[in-house]
Structure 1
Amino acid sequence: MLNQSNITGIILAGGKSSRMGYEKGLVMYKNKPFIAHVIHAAETLVNEVIIVSNNKNYDQFNLKRVNDMMLNTGPLAGLYSGLYHSTTQDNLVLSCDIPLITKELLEQLISKVSVKDDIVQVSVKGRTNPLLAVYKKHCMMSCLKTIESGERRLQTFVNQQNTKTITLKSSLEKYTQNINTRDQLNLLCNDIDN
């Protein structure tokens, strides 16, 4: 498994949250913002957590917050911004809207990283999640070239790298789900198993 001192946590919180209607990372679940759950799962596995967002409300978490270096360019620009500010070779990259994520699941992901992988992402039931992944710092330059070419899709970029996909058991699916809409939030809050 990667050494904690050699991995940075990067949480992307720069999305427009248009489907939710308000800032997703700050949506409350079990009396804590979504992003607080993500931070809690990741913080003991990394040496630093960076939040990528132009929203100063994230400063309340007393972590390094960096602005998106390119506006209106989607998660690819957020990834680039996070990798740019990282000081480690390996980077655990997470979206801010996965409040059920667990340390144990992240440990599984990190344990699969090898020197030859540019990216290691998870897949559940055939669906990959490039915002639940480990990226090498050197992906930053490929990321920039992809953006400059006019491509905005993160998955397209990931598919062009040396990417390993880890298939998780379907029983772990709920821990990886993104909560994007108010309907999904209502289902989450009404699920007695969570």
Structure 2
Amino acid sequence: MENHINISAYILCGGKSVRMQSEKGLVLYKGKPFIRWIIEAIMPITSNIILVTSNGDYTMVGVPMIEDTFADKGPVGGIYTALKHSMSAQNLILSCDVPKITTKLLRDLTDESENKDAPVTFLSDGKNDYPLIGVYNKEALEIFAEAISADKLKLCSLVNMISHQKIIINSAQKSLVQNINSKAELLALNLIDQ
């Protein structure tokens, strides 16, 4: 299968990691940092991968890094930064805390986003939405700029206000999109996968 040459991928690594108490993307899972698992899942889709972070520790990963345009604006600010930076119409956006994400699921997402005209396509399990595993069209930049200037920083609320499509995942895929936010969740993940 060939790469999507017209898509860029941005991994948002700007969270405060309060519950994890260490940089989430650099936490080890099966001996590798979360960020490495995510990059490896993206590589068959696009090699144009950029981290949105100001943490110099991520240089060890060896992919380009950019800093948030606006500090402390959460995922909305991170997506704005990515869309502003990107030269691609379509942009795969991921958080840095989904180490079990797979190439197949991401390819399904990117393929579906190409088939629809919505500026935002993201995963959902029918009950919970995962807008931090999504494809954002560059045309959504202005919407994110307006949200930041109005200080409307709740991502789920924002994406539900704009034209979007949800790709429904099945129950077997739910573990693939789980955010690992705390040491307890990390411990549970490692115990399950032993």
Helix, strand or coil for the counterpart of 2:57? helix
Give the Å deviation of 1:156: 1.4
Stretches of 4+ aligned residues off by more than 4 angstroms: none
Q: For 1:9, give the aligned amino acid.
A: A
**What residue ranges of structure 2 are gaps of 5+ in the alignment?**
none
List aligned pairs for 1:1-194, cutoff 5 A: 4-113=4-113, 114-192=115-193
CA distance in 2 between counterparts of 1:148 and 1:58 reads: 29
How big is each residue's C-alpha offset from its partner over 1:102-134, in whole Å with a ceiling of 9 and x where there is no partner?
A: 001111111211351101111114100000000
Aligned partners of 1:169, 1:91: CA distance in 2, in Å? 24
- Tell me, yes or no, if the aligned pair for 1:76 and 1:154 is still in contact at 8 Å: yes
- CA distance in 2 between partners of 1:104 and 1:142 (Å): 29
Q: What amino acid sits opposite 2:108 in the alignment?
A: Q
Output the CA distance in 2 between the equivalents of 1:140 and 1:54.
21
In structure 2, C-alpha distance between the alignment counterparts of 1:125 and 1:30, rounded to whole Å = 29
Name the CA distance, whole Å, in 2 between partners of 1:2 and 1:62: 23
- Normalised by the length of structure 1, the TM-score is 0.95
Aligned 8 A contact 2:3 2:44 in 1: no
> What code does the residue aligned with 1:8 have?
S
The CA distance in 2 between the partners of 1:69 and 1:168, in whole Å, is 32
TM-score, scaled to structure 2: 0.95
User: Cα–Cα, structure 1 residues 154 and 110, in superposed 2: closer, same or farther, change >3 Å?
Assistant: same
Q: How many residues align?
A: 193
Aligned Cα root-mean-square deviation (Å): 1.5
